[in-house]
């Protein structure tokens, strides 16, 4: 029968060798993890290829222009170099409006809230026209399928408008007037669809029945408010002109309060369904731009020597309805220069 001292000795021996074995296991585990980390750093596992699930995509419908190649470009970014763009980007399906047998009635119910209660006149299969005459004539053309609309009026004939009566003296009141108009007719969800921090307001004076840029709100009698869509997947959305939006409303004064007297609403929304596509390198996009394959979106001073100050990914939406939210590479330059290049590699575009 083992003595107490023998049991104590054997226990100490077991603890000792158990600790050694455990230490060896921990050592090799750490060594294995360290080796795996070094391998991933030196020889990283490549990501799976882009899904390209929509097959070839349509070309982006940029507006037609001439002499896009007559520019000389230089790089003037903060780093002095072109950015490192990702190798792929999400391409989202656009939400397609569905026909609705009650679409005309729903449109009538919405427009009645802004005092367009006349009998609508059909213009085409989906477009109807409403007219009202108080306090001056207004015409609203409304697409009952897409909810796009154009509002025009003879506001320049109204003395309350041209004199600036009840025109807001605060830009926030002007934008609020425009937002209320859109919300009243349920045009979109302002808190979800619109970047409220990107709203742009241009001020105007009215002289000889013409809108002229105003130097301050105190001298203005009208303001045009532009609404821009929220970013998608953290990328901004651009239109044909980067300085304006296809969602714009003209706000003026009136006999009793401020009002919307003109509006253009052209809106497309992307779904959450997407596939990934390979995109061009920054150097390839710059070569496209130099070769005249880009779209010059803004060049107000007509300069031919352009310093590129920034370059980044974005999405593009045209005024014509498109099937996909298409990615672009944006070039920003001095003096409000903007140019766009289609970001998707050419082999995945239907030429």
Q: pLDDT tens digits for 329-347?
A: 999 998 999 999 999 999 9
Confidence band, pLDDT 50/70/90 cuts, at residue 6: low
Q: Is the pLDDT of residue 13 over 90?
A: no
Confidence band, pLDDT 50/70/90 cuts, at residue 47: confident
- Quickly count: other Cβ atoms within 10 Å of residue 302's Cβ: 6
Q: pLDDT tens digits for 85-109?
A: 999 999 999 999 999 999 999 999 9
Q: Is the pLDDT of residue 164 over 80?
A: yes
Q: Is the pLDDT of residue 7 over 60?
A: no
Distance CA 37, CA 24 (A): 20
Distance CA 246, CA 264 (A): 6
pLDDT of residue 15: 64
pLDDT of residue 351: 81
Q: Determine what percent of the chain falls in helix, strand and coil, rounding each to the nearest 5.
A: 25, 30, 45
Helices (H), 113-170: 159-162
Distance between first and last Cα of the chain: 93
Q: Is the pLDDT of residue 139 over 70?
A: yes
Q: pLDDT tens digits for 173-208?
A: 999 999 999 999 998 776 678 898 899 999 999 999
Q: Using the Cα atoms of residue 283, residue 289, residue 295 and residue 298 in order, give the sign of their dihedral.
A: positive
pLDDT of residue 43: 65
Q: pLDDT tens digits for 275-326?
A: 999 999 999 999 999 998 999 999 988 888 999 999 999 999 998 999 999 9
CA distances for 313 relative to 100, 253, 280, 350, angstroms: 36, 40, 11, 21
DSSP string of 81-117, one letter each residue: S-----SEEEEEEEPPPPP-TTHHHHHHHHHHTTT--
Give the least confident one: 70-84, 138-152, 233-247, 279-293: 70-84
Is 144 within 8 Å of 120 (Cβ atoms)?
A: no
pLDDT of residue 17: 65
Distance CA 31, CA 27 (A): 6
pLDDT of residue 192: 79
Place of tokens 């590129």: 308
Distance CA 86, CA 148 (A): 35
Residue 167: how many CA atoms within 13 Å on its side-chain side? 25
Q: Is the model more confident about 197 or about 57?
A: 57
Token reading at 67? 């002499």
Q: Is the pLDDT of residue 41 over 90?
A: no
Residue 248: how many CA atoms within 13 Å on its side-chain side? 16
What integer is the mean pLDDT of 34-63? 82
What integer is the mean pLDDT of 211-227? 96
pLDDT of residue 11: 63
- Quickly count: other Cβ atoms within 10 Å of residue 143's Cβ: 20
What integer is the mean pLDDT of 124-149? 95
Domain locations in the chain?
1-45, 72-94+271-348, 103-267
pLDDT of residue 327: 98
Among 318, 155, 339, 171, smallest CA distance to 252 is for 155
Q: pLDDT tens digits for 231-284?
A: 999 999 999 999 999 999 999 999 999 999 999 999 999 999 999 999 999 999
pLDDT of residue 109: 96
Tell me the average pLDDT of the chain: 90
């Amino acid at each position: 029968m083992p003595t107490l001292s023998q049991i104590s000795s054997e226990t100490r021996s077991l603890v000792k060798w158990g600790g050694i074995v455990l230490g060896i296991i921990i050592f090799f585990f750490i060594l294995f993890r360290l080796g795996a980390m070094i391998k991933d750093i030196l020889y990283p596992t490549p990501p799976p290829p882009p899904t390209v699930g929509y097959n070839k995509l349509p070309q982006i419908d940029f507006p037609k222009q001439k002499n896009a190649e007559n520019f000389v470009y230089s790089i003037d970014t903060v780093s002095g170099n072109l950015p490192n763009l990702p190798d792929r980007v999400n391409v989202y399906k656009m939400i397609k409006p569905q026909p609705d047998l009650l679409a005309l009635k729903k449109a009538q119910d919405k427009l009645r809230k802004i005092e367009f209660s006349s009998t609508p006149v059909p213009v085409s299969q989906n477009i109807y026209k409403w007219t009202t005459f108080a306090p001056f004539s207004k015409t609203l053309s409304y697409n009952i399928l897409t909810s796009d609309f154009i509002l025009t009026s003879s506001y320049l004939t109204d003395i309350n408008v041209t004199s600036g009566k009840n025109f807001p003296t605060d830009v926030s009141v002007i934008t609020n007037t425009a937002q209320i108009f859109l919300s009243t007719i349920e045009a979109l969800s302002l808190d979800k669809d619109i970047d409220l921090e990107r709203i742009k307001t241009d001020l105007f004076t009215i002289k000889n029945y013409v809108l002229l840029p105003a130097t301050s709100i105190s001298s203005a009698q009208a303001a045009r408010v532009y609404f821009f869509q929220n970013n998608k997947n953290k990328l901004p959305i651009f239109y044909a002109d980067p300085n304006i939006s296809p969602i714009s409303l003209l706000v003026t004064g009136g006999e009793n309060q401020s009002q919307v007297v003109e509006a253009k609403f052209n809106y497309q929304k992307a779904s959450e369904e997407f596939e990934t596509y390979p995109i061009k390198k920054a150097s390839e996009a710059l070569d496209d731009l130099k070769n005249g394959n880009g779209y010059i979106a803004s060049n107000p001073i007509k300069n031919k020597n352009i310093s590129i100050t920034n370059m980044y990914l974005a999405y593009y939406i045209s005024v014509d309805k498109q099937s996909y939210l298409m990615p672009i590479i944006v070039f920003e330059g001095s003096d409000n220069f903007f140019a766009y290049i289609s970001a998707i590699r050419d082999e995945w575009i239907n030429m």
